[in-house]
A = this chain, B = another copy of it.
Amino acid sequence: MVTLPRPPSLPRALLFDVFGTLVDWRRSVARQVAAAFECSGRTVDALAFADAWRGEYDPSMEPVRSGRRPYVSLDELHRENLQTVLGRLDLTDVLDSDEQAGLNRSWERLDPWPDSVSGLDRLRYRFVVAPCSNGSVALMVKLARHTGFAWDCILGAEIAGTYKPEPDVYLASCAALQLDPEQVMMIAAHNADLEAASSLGMMTGFFPRPTEHGHGQETDLIASGDWTIVASDLMDLARCLLD
């Protein structure tokens, strides 16, 4: 993959997408789904369950984005979406409410991609780093303690009261750092996230996570926009920004 040279003016802070970009949500959730159903006597395709659960993610945020529903945390949406998926698979009665609550906490225990912790640590030496995720502050704190991500602060959806890619999420995150969008780089393995950030004037950094959705993944394998930096992975992006 071609690595572009360092941008002419360096960002003052780096905002990161988290799910998919820094953590392998799919295999992490599937592992915990498999554990939750292990003793139930019911056969569950754990990866398909994880995909179905995540499939409800975007539609469940839409009423909040459009203003039809007041902001509720992603933890609550994950809870509702879990019940949707359990119902669809006729599994509602297999897990009691405590077990469902435990399974919902899968999202607090997602494993980082192999380069995420070291890449963030390298970048944090020089830049302010913060998540700009749809996850709540509480979820990002728990996930950071699970993974070892050393954030300067937690930004993103909750401080804006809506969800990406709504402009307010990016703008409120930059404003909390007292920086203009032009001084901040959004980093994600998802082109749509960078499209939204770029349209607000932010710098953008892309690298692919080609197995986020499994080995048959067809989306976000390459940069589809004119991003400030296109790298092969997080360590490559760190080299572009630090060398």
User: Hey, which bits of chain A sit against chain B, CB under 8 A?
Assistant: 73, 75, 128, 136-138, 140-141, 144-145, 150-155, 158-159, 176-179
Complex Cα distance, B138 from A159, in Å, reads 14
Q: State how many angstroms separate the Cβ of A196 from the closest Cβ of chain B.
A: 22
Chain B residue with Cβ nearest A173:
B137
Residues on B with beta carbons closer than 8 Å to the beta carbon of A145: 128, 152
Contact B176 A158 (CB under 8 A): yes
Q: State how many angstroms separate the Cβ of A12 from the closest Cβ of chain B.
A: 11
Contact A153 B178 (CB under 8 A): no
Q: Which 4 A-B pairs have the closest CB atoms?
A: A138-B178, A153-B154, A137-B176, A141-B152
- This chain: copies in complex: 2
Complex Cα distance, B158 from A128, in Å, reads 18
Contact A75 B141 (CB under 8 A): no
Q: Which of the residues B136, B144, B153 comes within 8 Å of A137, measured between beta carbons?
A: B153
Q: State how many angstroms separate the Cβ of A101 from the closest Cβ of chain B.
A: 13
Residues on B with beta carbons closer than 8 Å to the beta carbon of A141: 128, 152-153, 177
Residues on B with beta carbons closer than 8 Å to the beta carbon of A128: 141, 145
Residues on B with beta carbons closer than 8 Å to the beta carbon of A179: 138
Contact A136 B73 (CB under 8 A): no
Given the interface contacts A159-B159, A176-B138, A178-B138, does A153 sit within 8 Å of B150 by beta carbon? no
Q: State how many angstroms separate the Cβ of A150 from the closest Cβ of chain B.
A: 7
Chain B residue with Cβ nearest A150:
B150
Residues on B with beta carbons closer than 8 Å to the beta carbon of A155: 137
Complex Cα distance, B75 from A159, in Å, reads 19
Residues on B with beta carbons closer than 8 Å to the beta carbon of A177: 137-138, 141
